[in-house]
């Protein structure tokens, strides 16, 4: 099936599930909030205009119950997560981004269900978190399921999960355009996943239509009177917001992950750690109720100038309090998103700037809404490293398209500050596409696309029927001296793989059980008719050792190992040197061993001081072939394969060897071959 029909169908299905998932989580969170905060604590949270614009309780009727309720929700969430699905800990968007880069098929449905319930418990009981993380994980998990069921290629699997992330977040915030761009913008810090953009548009608009059919199509927030840019001096005030937004974004990220590290050192069960964080959040909430729950109702109050009489010291404290509360609620092991709190932090930042400047500065205006909106865009647009997507999303959430132009000043400054620090709230993001092992290798090994998996695939030594006992399977794997094997059902169709190491640890306790019960269906496979560049990506996602090769009918056709790709590529170089000279006519392939005196020893690739234009492709370390990334560190004895310009060959050789008299292992020059 061609690209457009395929993704029109797949993205539409993902969009429907994303919309329904957003509906399910929204209802679950509403029920949880009414029970914990409304029924148990006697407190009603304010809501934004798009959700009823309720004013909320003016004060606590049972203040003593607030910390207890937050602790109860966190305790239940921690028990659920760390008992059934530890990967549901923290903010789900980061886990989904990690799946995009490393294993698009690996998101378990159990984790999705646990994420929904645990996040509803954490946020509904008063913990500071966003509802976008669970929604993103629902739709990303369904994209992962589609990749498994339809045996999508690794590239299509990555797109499916990316589209799931964007459409889920776009649906829950009623911001389909922002969600579509987010699908392509959020997986890299300084790059863009262009292939996900068009499918993201399809999925996001459908998810928005489904969610809106239940809850309406109005923006989440309302701005009284609208906004028209007519005061150029405001650009200066927005620039101040940008500076503060960059600094607060960095504080948000560093404090969040600082709390995560501190939490991991606590000398008691992981199940109890969220309760400790919840206790502190509950105590903070006694003085600052703005830290409770999602906080969207308080953002609406800020937009509507209803917080104009709130003491200035409280307004100044709110961004810091929300940063701390989010770290304590989610960083200790609770479940929820960091996207929503990031925008709330930004809203309070913009409100604080307006409150300080309004009495003394020209052109500030009498309405805080523009400052609140610009703050929302700048804080999270910077620290998420997805400024365009967040800018569009907030514009749709507030109906404030007129603010996009002037807001770009603040967003650009915040993005620059965060970029200089090379930080992000999403630690699973890669810096650029060049940091993806697959993209680096496919760039450096251009002939892979001219070779087919069917040309190099090997017959499997062992294929295990699902009905075989674990004991018999372990014996068969040991006898064949293989690290693992594919598992097939009674019809011969592939259902997953098992590894001898993990299976052996279970053999004593489950010796008589069927091996099919332990087959991992999330491991990537590769189609028999695929090209070797697709096979290489499948190998990387599967862990880099071996991958099952399947036919269109899901029958096991063979096994593909990294050694097969290396051997086939070397043979292709020998027989197709004319092709490689046309593809990389100005590149030299150099293979050198890292000498004991080399300055590269202990240095990561991105800081190794390699010649300009040099691209490290692989690092052979003993029997292991490593796919080079910017963080790969050189060790003595490594054999480094790289591409560089003809002028830099000798400098590169001397740098790697660390001694002038060592001889190169190999070098092939495209110019000479031509």
Quick one: three-class SS letters along 562-605? HHHHHHHHHHHHHHCHHHHHHHCCCCEEEEEECCCCCCCCCCEH
The pLDDT score that the predictor gives to residue 574 is: 63
The pLDDT score that the predictor gives to residue 399 is: 87
- Contact predicate 216/50, CB 8 Å: yes
Mark which of 392, 421, 450 sits at the end of a domain.
421
Residue 350 forms part of a structural domain: yes
Same domain, 552 and 442: yes
Cα gap 202→569, rounded to integer Å: 38
- How far CA 240 is from CA of 52, 246, 353, 410, in Å, comes to 33, 10, 8, 7
Asked which of 90-94, 261-265, 312-316, 331-335 is least confident by mean pLDDT, the reply is 90-94
The pLDDT score that the predictor gives to residue 285 is: 96
The pLDDT score that the predictor gives to residue 668 is: 40
551 or 664: which carries more pLDDT confidence? 551
Check pLDDT > 70 for residue 170.
yes
Residue 183 forms part of a structural domain: yes
Residue 427 forms part of a structural domain: no
Read off the pLDDT of residues 203-214 as tens digits, 9 standing for 90 and up.
999 999 999 999
pLDDT classification of 437: cutoffs 50, 70, 90: low
Q: DSSP 3-state assignment of 483? A: coil
pLDDT classification of 33: cutoffs 50, 70, 90: very high
Residue 576 forms part of a structural domain: no
Same domain, 415 and 556: no
Residue 198 forms part of a structural domain: yes
Q: Which CATH number does the domain housing residue 209 bear?
A: 1.10.3080.10
Question: CB-based contacts of 629: which residues, under 8 Å, 6+ apart?
Answer: 435, 436, 437, 440, 605
Residue 432 forms part of a structural domain: no
Same domain, 558 and 465: yes
Quick one: three-class SS letters along 100-161? HHHCCCCCCHHHHHHHHHHHHHHHHCCCCCECHHHHHHHHHHHHHHHHHHCCCCHHHHHHHH
Same domain, 146 and 175: yes
Question: CB-based contacts of 210: which residues, under 8 Å, 6+ apart?
Answer: 15, 16, 18, 19, 20, 22, 23, 171
Radius of gyration of the chain (CA): 27
Same domain, 145 and 35: yes
Mark which of 366, 395, 421 sits at the end of a domain.
421
Residue 666 forms part of a structural domain: yes
The pLDDT score that the predictor gives to residue 535 is: 87
- Its domain, for residue 629, covers 584-673
Nearest to 330 by CA among 322, 345, 48: 322
Same domain, 533 and 386: no
In this prediction the pTM is: 0.81
Same domain, 309 and 346: yes
- How far CA 279 is from CA of 69, 77, 84, 477, in Å, comes to 9, 14, 23, 51
Residue corresponding to tokens 């029970």: 35
Question: CB-based contacts of 380: which residues, under 8 Å, 6+ apart?
Answer: 249, 339, 342, 343, 345, 346, 390, 425
At residue 426's C-alpha, the angle toward residues 69 and 413, to 5°, is 110
362 or 505: which carries more pLDDT confidence? 362
Residue 573 forms part of a structural domain: no
**Strand runs (DSSP E) across 278-403, as ranges?**
none
Cα gap 90→435, rounded to integer Å: 25
Same domain, 417 and 441: no
Q: Specify burial of residue 609 (Cβ count, 10 A radius: 0-12, 13-18, 19+).
A: exposed
Percent of the chain with pLDDT over 90: 57
Q: Which CATH number does the domain housing residue 604 bear?
A: 3.30.70.1450
Same domain, 503 and 388: no
Q: DSSP 3-state assignment of 558? A: strand
The pLDDT score that the predictor gives to residue 400 is: 85
Number of domains in the chain: 3
Asked which of 300-309, 506-515, 525-534, 577-586 is least confident by mean pLDDT, the reply is 577-586
Mark which of 536, 567, 598 sits at the end of a domain.
567
- For residues 417-434, give the mean pLDDT: 90
């Amino acid at each position: 099936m061609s690209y457009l029909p395929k993704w029109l169908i797949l993205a539409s299905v993902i969009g429907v599930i994303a919309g329904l998932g957003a509906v399910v989580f929204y209802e679950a969170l509403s029920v949880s909030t009414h029970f914990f905060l409304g029924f148990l604590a006697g407190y009603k949270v304010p809501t934004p205009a798009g959700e009823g614009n309720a004013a909320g309780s003016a004060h606590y009727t049972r203040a003593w119950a607030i910390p207890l309720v937050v602790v109860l929700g966190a305790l239940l969430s921690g028990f659920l997560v760390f008992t059934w699905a530890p990967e549901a800990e923290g903010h789900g968007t980061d886990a989904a981004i990690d799946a995009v880069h490393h294993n698009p098929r690996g998101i378990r449905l159990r984790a999705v269900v646990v994420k929904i319930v645990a996040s509803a418990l954490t946020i509904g009981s008063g913990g500071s978190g966003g509802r976008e993380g669970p929604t993103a994980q629902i739709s990303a998990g369904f994209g992962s399921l589609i990749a498994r069921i339809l045996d999508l290629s690794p590239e299509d699997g990555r797109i499916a999960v990316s589209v799931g992330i964007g459409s889920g977040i776009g649906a829950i915030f009623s911001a389909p355009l922002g969600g579509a761009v987010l699908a392509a913008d959020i997986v890299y810090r300084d790059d863009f996943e262009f292939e996900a953009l068009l499918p993201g548009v399809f999925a996001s608009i459908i998810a928005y239509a489904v969610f809106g059919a239940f809850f309406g199509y109005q923006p989440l927030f309302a701005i009284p009177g609208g906004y028209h840019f007519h005061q150029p001096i405001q650009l200066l005030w927005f620039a101040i917001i940008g500076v503060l937004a960059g600094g607060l974004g960095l504080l948000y990220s560093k404090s969040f992950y600082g709390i995560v590290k501190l939490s991991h050192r606590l000398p008691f069960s992981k199940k109890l750690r969220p309760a400790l964080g919840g206790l502190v959040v509950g105590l903070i909430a006694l003085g600052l109720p703005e830290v409770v729950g999602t906080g969207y109702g308080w953002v609406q109050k800020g937009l509507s100038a209803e917080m104009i009489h709130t003491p200035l010291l409280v307004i100044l404290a709110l961004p810091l309090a929300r940063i701390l509360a989010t770290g304590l609620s989610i960083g200790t092991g609770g479940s929820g998103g960091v996207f929503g709190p990031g925008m709330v932090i930004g809203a309070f930042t913009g409100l604080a700037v307006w409150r300080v400047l309004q009495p003394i500065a020209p052109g500030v205006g009498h309405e805080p809404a523009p400052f609140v909106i610009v703050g929302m865009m700048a804080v999270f647009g910077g620290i998420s490293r997805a400024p365009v997507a967040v800018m569009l999303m907030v514009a749709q959430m507030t109906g404030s398209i007129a603010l996009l132009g002037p807001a770009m000043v603040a967003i650009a400054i915040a993005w620059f500050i965060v970029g200089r620090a090379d930080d992000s709230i999403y630690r699973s993001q890669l810096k650029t596409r060049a940091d993806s092992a697959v993209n680096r290798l496919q760039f450096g090994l251009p002939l892979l696309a001219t070779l087919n998996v069917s040309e190099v695939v090997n017959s499997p030594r062992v294929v295990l029927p699902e009905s075989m006992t674990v004991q018999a399977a372990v014996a068969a794997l040991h006898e064949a001296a293989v690290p693992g094997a594919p598992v097939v059902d009674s019809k011969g169709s592939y259902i997953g793989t098992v590894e001898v190491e993990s299976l052996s640890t279970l053999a004593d306790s489950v010796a008589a059980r069927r091996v099919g019960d332990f087959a991992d269906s999330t491991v990537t496979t590769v189609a028999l008719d695929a090209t070797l560049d697709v096979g290489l990506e499948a190998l990387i996602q599967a862990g880099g050792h071996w991958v099952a090769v399947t036919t269109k009918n899901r029958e096991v056709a063979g096994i593909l190992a990294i050694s097969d790709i290396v051997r086939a590529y070397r043979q292709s170089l020998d027989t197709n040197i004319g092709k490689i000279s046309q593809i990389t006519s100005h590149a030299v392939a150099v293979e050198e061993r890292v000498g004991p005196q080399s300055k590269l020893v202990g240095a990561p690739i991105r800081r190794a001081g390699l010649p300009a234009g040099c691209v490290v492709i692989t690092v052979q370390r003993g029997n292991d072939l490593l796919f080079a990334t910017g963080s790969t560190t050189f060790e003595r004895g490594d054999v480094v394969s790289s591409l560089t310009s003809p002028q830099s060959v000798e400098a590169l050789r001397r740098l790697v060897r660390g001694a002038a008299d060592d001889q190169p292992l190999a070098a092939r020059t495209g110019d000479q071959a031509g």
